[in-house]
Amino acid sequence: MKTILTISRQFGSGGRLIGRLVAEKLGIPFYDREIIDLAAQKSGFASEFIKENEQKLKGLSTYAHTAPLWGGGLWGNFDNFESRIYAAEAEAIEHYASLGGCVIVGRCADYVLKDKAECLNVFIHADIESRAKRVIEVYHDESDEKRAQKLVRDADRLRARHYRYYTDAEWGDSANYHISLDSAKLGIEKCVELLVRAYQVVEESSKEE
């Protein structure tokens, strides 16, 4: 196996779980936390710091209130941090991709590996109601449905911004992915089945070449 399955996903769509299950069924590695740890080694940042700040998801809310104290200077530093985290994660992604077929979730891996590895790029999405419900159930979030929907929308907005900033392409535009699936319509299990089959198809055709 040499194909790298990259999974981009809307928050709450179950994309991470789908990726893990596909990797299990195919018997290939699933890289998630490992990317953070290797990026930490490469950048000198602590793993926890990277986890908190990759994609500015938590970063903005953690630091925003302190900005006035620093006369806005922290924003400059923060941008700098984020670029260094991105670069270190990109290096980690390239390293793991060089080891052979695997599944990598998020972190613009589709873009990082463009023209560098044989990839099958996947996008997992679902309607906002299903995702809010999933956030409440799976993450034991105690939000009501309305608050959960806001959480999901905010996370989407940040992921879209992050993706656009680094890749200059639109997050979620079907043209950027080889397969996009609606996990609410098809169900997690069936998405896994379809992706396992698609992965095999791409592997077979790359052997034929």
Q: Is 157 in the site for its own copies (CB under 8 A)?
A: no
**What is the spatial distance between Cα 114 and Cα 117, in angstroms, rounded to a whole number?**
7
Question: Of the listed pieces 63-71, 94-102, 120-128, 136-144, which binds its own copies according to CB under 8 A?
Answer: 120-128
Among 37, 91, 182, 203, contact with its own copies (rule: CB under 8 A):
182
Quote the CA–CA distance of 183 and 181 in Å, as a whole number: 6
Which helix (H) or strand (E) is 17 found in, with range?
A: helix 15-26
Q: Mask 3-22, x = binds its own copies (CB under 8 A)?
A: --------------------
Q: Which stretch binds its own copies (CB under 8 A): 40-48, 82-90, 129-137, 200-208?
A: 200-208
Q: Is 150 in the site for its own copies (CB under 8 A)?
A: no
In whole angstroms, the minimum distance from the beta carbon of 180 to its own copies comes to: 4
Q: What is the DSSP pairing of strand 4-9 with strand 102-105?
A: parallel
Angle at 160 between CA 147 and CA 201, to 5 degrees: 110
- Taking the CA atoms of residue 54, residue 25, residue 196 and residue 158 in that order, the dihedral angle to the nearest 10 degrees is -10
* Nearest residue (CB) to its own copies, 116 versus 190: 190
Among 74, 160, 194, 203, the residue binding its own copies under the rule CB under 8 A is 194
The DSSP element (H or E) to which 123 belongs, if any, is: strand 119-125
Structure tokens that stand for 172 in this block: 């979620």
How many CB atoms within 10 Å of residue 185? 12
Site map 45..84 versus its own copies, x via CB under 8 A: ----------------------------------------
Binding-site ranges for its own copies (CB under 8 A): 120, 123, 125, 172-175, 177-182, 185-187, 190, 193-194, 197-198, 201-202, 205
